[in-house]
Every structure is written in C-alpha cells, then in structure tokens.
Chains A and B, each alone.
Chain A
Amino acid sequence: MTLSSSHPADAAARQPRWRARRLAVAAVATLAAALLIPSGVTGAYWTTAAAGTAVTPGVGDWCATPDPATNPRIIRLSDIPETTAADGAAIRMAIIPVANNAAWGGDGTTARTLAVKLRTCSTTIPAFTLRITAWSNSTANTGATTWATGGAVAPTSRLNVTAGRGSEIQKLARWGQSTTSPGATVSNLDSRRFSWLVSGPRTSSAPTAAPADCHNRDCTPNFAAVAGASAFVANNWTATAPSVTYSAATFALNNPAAGSDWGSAAGLNANGNPNSNSVVSATATTMAPSASDATALASTDGNLMQWVVIQWSGTTPPSDLLAEIVLL
C-alpha cells in the first residue's frame, strides 16, 4: 500500500487507522515513562538502616614452633634415638649431611652460610646439654657411608653413627679426633675439619662467640657442650620470636681459589702467612652450590659438604625443643 492517494474517500477510510495508531503511540509513551521512572519511586517496600557500634577485634598471644613432620630440616631433639657407641656409652646423636643443593633450598648459584636455628615454646628448659658441630670430610679414607635414614645429601638423611664414616664423625664430635680413644691430642688434620655451631663459648646471648684465637695452626676445637638453658631462648612471652640462630664458623681456610685445603698445612685462616705465628681468625663456614651428591660426598675441602652433628645428653628435652638447619 502507498500513501500517495489524496482522494477524500481514502482519507475517510484512513481515520480509524490513524486513531488506532495514536492510541498505540500513547500506550508506548506511557510504558516508556513507567520504565524510565526510578524504581525507588515505585518501590512497594520500606527500608531502614542503622549502624552498630564499632568494635576492634584483636589478636591474642601464643607461641608456635614449626612441625618437623612437614619440614624435615627441623629436628625435634627428643626424637633423636639413643645409640650405644663402641665405647659402651649411650649417646643421642644425629649426623646429617648438608650441602648447598636443591634439597636444602639452594638456588644453584649463591653461596650460603651454614647455620642452625633453635626454637622452643617451653617456658622452662630442663637440665640437659647440647652440642651442635659440623665436620667436613676427611682427606683420608673415612670408611663406608652407611645411612640410618635416607641415602642422599638431603634433610631426611641420617648417617649411621656406629658404622664407617658415621663412626668416625661420631668420635670427632665427641672427642675431637677420630682414630684414637678420648683424651688423645687432637691433630691439626682433624681440627681443620671442625666448625662450631652450638658449642664452646656460644650461648643464646652470645650466638656468634668464637673460641679463643689460636696461633700457628695450634687450634684445638672447643666443642664443649652448652647447657640447654643457655643454648635455647626460653619462652617468656615477651620476645617477638623465641628463637636464636647460630651461624657456623671455623678457623680453617676454605677458599679453593687460593689453592688451600682444610687438609693441607696452609688450611688455617691465618692473617698473613698461614704458616707463621699469625693469629688465626674465625670465618663463617660458607658452602658453595653443589649439583651432585657423589661430588659432595667425595669432597674434602668443606665447601661442598658438611656433616652437622646434633647431640644432647641429660634430661630428655620437651618435644618442642627444635633445631632447624638452615643455609643463610
């Protein structure tokens, strides 16, 4: 249909249609108005609001130690089993292989310092003694590597303390020498293998203390055990974090770039000429990245491999006395 016609009869016929269209336009306009009017105007309900009094939730006080079950770098002292050594002594000792590798959190490029972190939530520390030392491999034959747990340079591994290499290191940690009976003179060869963590003059209030200076390679390892109450920071509910970290230190020179070796005559970290009577200074026991367990276990300079020895004696410590081996 077109609208070109102008005949009067046609116009009359269109009148009803125009009326219908106008009514339709009115309806649409009404609907549009209804849709455009804010709903609040038409909302068929009431609302009311009121603010409650403000409060300030607060945090309380507690102490917590990490769970050794989920972090194998943490050793619960009371979990260290008792073993009878060859001399008949009942000892509580764990020998743990540590290298700067992925298992210990190493990134493959950064040298790290060996350390141990002691934590507890106990408010009182019972009467026991603690000694934590670290020893490098010997340049001599150290015997077979017999594992008590694990079989890699990893936090879950423990060396059998009464067999082969474990027996040797057990004697080192107890007596400072590995081949003879207690009381024998500690050899330079063995003393150069020694790093102290929690022994000798170290306490929680002096965690970086070193044994007295020595001269001309006359450095006797001071591996005397420390009273538990001195080694740990008891929980007194005031410290921000009831823990203390002990970094490993040694008199030995562990700088392969200088051509030295802990087993060599020039292995001590003397100021100036290491073979002179110069004072020997303690240095941090740092560990270079290690990519291979076989290489680490065969190394003798102490840069790739350290055996951390944790030993306690006396009253059994509470279950929340923990030692965590860390690479700083």
Chain B
Amino acid sequence: MKTPLTLALATGLAAVLLLGAQGSLASLTDSAAGPATVIQSGSLSMAVGNPTAAVNEVYGTAPAGVVVRPGSTGIIPGVQRQSYTYTITNTGTARATARLSAALAFSSPVEPRYSALRSSLQVSVSIDGQPEMIVVAAGSMASGAATVALPEQALVFTPNTQHTVVVRFSIPATSGTAAALIDSRSAAAEAVALFTFTPTFTLTQVPVAS
C-alpha cells in the first residue's frame, strides 16, 4: 500500500520541478495557474549606451526678479534643466520582447550647501518621447544617498530596436524659489555637481502565450 503514495509524491514533485524552470527548457502546460507562458530556448540581454547630456536646456522664461548668468550651464529654477539621454537596446533573441524598469540611485550631496536645493529638485523620465513621468517630485527627494524605483513600463522593447530614456533634473519655479535658493547657486559659469546619478536598467521578458 505504500507504493501508490510514494509514486504520487514523486510524480507531484517532478511536475513541480518541471514547471517552467529556467534551466530545464521545459514547456509550460496550460494547467498552470495564471497566464499561460511558453519557455523557449534563447536569451535576453541589453545594451546601454553612454548618455548624451543637455546641460543647459532652457524650458522656461525667467520670472520677475530672476536673472540667469549669461552662458551658465546647470539647473536654474524654472528656467533651465539638465537632461541625460540613455539609449537602450534589447539585444535578446527573437521573440524575447521585454519591458523596462529601473533603479535610479542618487549619491549624497557633493556639498552641504546643496541640501536645500536638492530637496527642491524634480526628477522625471521620458521614454521614446512619451510624456514625462515624475519619479521624484519636488520636495520629496531624500537628503542623503537613496535609490528610487522606476516601475515596469508598459512599452514593449522588441529585440534590436533602440529606445531612448531621458532623465531630466529640474527645479520647478514657484514664487520665491529662486530667491530662497540663492545661496545654493553655483556662483560660477560652469555647473557645479550636486550628486552622482547612476541608473540601473532592467529588462523583463514579456511572457509568451502558448
């Protein structure tokens, strides 16, 4: 009488282990719970190009009482922002479509005097020219080193297609912002670094229906 029980346990465990394990190349069956998927041989990989920087991107007019230093690069409240464009390519095999997510890491301020300015910073992301997503709203950035998650996006990255991810840093201009932050300005023609920003991009395969 022990044989059927042992056989049943072994069979069940074998079925579990065969369920879609990455290294097993086993096919999923349609008996699994949730969306049916098919595991096939292949790979998923990505290439991230060096970013191109726009260090003095003018996007607003100076409000009354605010004067921009001629030729200044860097972030200026309500007037000028900095953008970094990363080119991301899904270099996986055919049918290995994927979606993008990211972890955006910010180091501590380079100088303490930038802490007030840092808290006023807004960080946004735009993929392939789509509307900006604010990932760090003004007033919500951590004062020290921190990582902010960009959740998985709906846009599908098909293999061997370049996509652009633009990360923008700006300070929204509200009344008095530029005057309140006057002691945090660079006081130099060239922008002065606030912190180091390091993005880590992740591609996650889109499950293939069976």
Interface residues, chain A, with chain B CB atoms under 8 Å away: 18-19, 22-23, 25-27, 29-30, 33-34, 37, 41-67, 70, 121, 235, 237-241, 319-320
Contact = CB atoms under 8 A, between A and B. Distances in A.
A49 B39 contact: no
Contacts of A33: 12-13, 16
A34 B44 CA distance: 26
Contact of A62 (B8, B21, B43, B67): B67
B161 interface: no
17 contacts: A22-B4, A29-B9, A30-B15, A34-B12, A44-B20, A47-B202, A48-B45, A53-B48, A55-B51, A58-B194, A59-B117, A59-B184, A60-B56, A61-B69, A61-B74, A62-B185, A63-B185
Interface string B185-209: 1111111111111111111111100
A11 to B, nearest CB: 13
B169 to A, nearest CB: 4
Contacts of A37: 16-17
A60 B200 contact: no
Given A58-B191, A59-B75, A64-B67, 16 more contacts: A29-B12, A30-B16, A46-B205, A49-B203, A50-B47, A50-B48, A51-B198, A51-B200, A56-B193, A60-B191, A62-B79, A70-B175, A70-B176, A121-B66, A237-B189, A241-B183
Interface of B: 1, 4-5, 8-9, 12-13, 15-17, 19-22, 28, 37-39, 43-48, 50-51, 53, 55-56, 62, 64-69, 72-77, 79-80, 82, 84, 86, 92, 96, 98, 110, 114, 117, 169, 175-176, 178-179, 181-207
B154 to A, nearest CB: 16
Q: List the 8 shortest-distance A-B pairs measured between CB atoms, nearest first.
A: A30-B12, A60-B74, A58-B191, A26-B8, A64-B178, A46-B44, A44-B37, A61-B69
